[in-house]
């Protein structure tokens, strides 16, 4: 039997994610659109995000200069899982004549391709994940639209609300 968990009460600011909203956030991220509004553009190119969404104006780093550390984690985990699946399929299909040399050379190349290929998705999925737990308020969105500082280049902390 589970003990009553009183610590849950201290997590103010965290909303219980709703299924429909969650599906919408991640669905938008998977088609490279802004998780917040479904519009865009959000990418400068495949390797760089815009500072803000071109439609709703949300800052895609949410004002935190090391915001995307988590997105790199998403990137590596998804890339790793995909390659494990690919490796398993190759072993099953080619057994017992597994092309070990091809795997040795192709493996690292596939890792790089997967990480680069997943780059924009992982950033938007990370933002969707964040919006799921901390939905953006109208006040925050207003700050996103008016704040002009580039946190990625200036190592200063965002102002307290
Ligand atoms: Zn948007």
- For the stretch 84-120, pLDDT in tens is 999 999 999 999 999 999 999 998 899 899 989 999 9
Whole-number Cα distances in Å, 63 to 52, 143, 157? 10, 9, 8
Ligand 1 centroid – CA 160 distance (Å): 23
What is the predicted pLDDT for the residue at 19? 86
Return the pLDDT at 155. Answer: 41
Higher local confidence (pLDDT), 1 or 20: 20
Stated pTM of the model? 0.73
Give distance in angstroms: CA of 43 to centre of ligand 1.
11
Measured distance CA(28)–CA(34) in Å, rounded: 6
What is the CA(124)–ligand 1 centre distance, in A? 11
Kindly give the residue spans of alpha helices, DSSP state H, lying in 2-68: 19-30
Sign of the C-alpha dihedral computed for residues 32, 57, 19 and 114 taken in this order: positive
42 CA to centre of own chain: 13
Read off the tokens for 3: 């003990």
> For 23-81, how does the pLDDT look when each residue is reduced to its tens digit (9 = 90+)?
999 999 999 999 999 999 999 999 888 989 999 999 998 867 677 788 888 888 888 99
CA of 115 to the centre of ligand 1 (A): 25
Rounded CA-CA distance 27/121 in Å is 11
pLDDT in the model for residue 37: 95
């Amino acid at each position: 039997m589970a003990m009553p968990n009183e610590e849950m009460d201290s997590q103010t600011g965290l909303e219980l994610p709703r299924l429909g909203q969650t599906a919408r956030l991640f669905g938008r991220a998977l088609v490279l659109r802004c998780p917040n509004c479904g519009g865009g553009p959000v990418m400068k190119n495949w390797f760089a995000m815009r500072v803000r969404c071109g439609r709703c104006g949300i800052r895609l780093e949410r004002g935190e200069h090391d915001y995307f550390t988590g997105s790199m984690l998403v990137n590596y985990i998804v890339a790793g899982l995909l390659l494990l699946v690919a490796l398993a399929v190759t072993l099953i299909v080619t057994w017992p004549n597994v092309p070990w040399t091809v795997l040795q050379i192709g493996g690292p190349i596939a890792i790089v391709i997967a990480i680069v290929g997943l780059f924009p998705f992982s950033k938007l999925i990370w933002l969707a994940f964040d919006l799921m737990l901390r939905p953006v308020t109208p006040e925050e969105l207003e700050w996103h639209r008016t704040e002009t500082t580039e946190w990625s280049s200036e190592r200063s902390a965002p102002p307290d609300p």
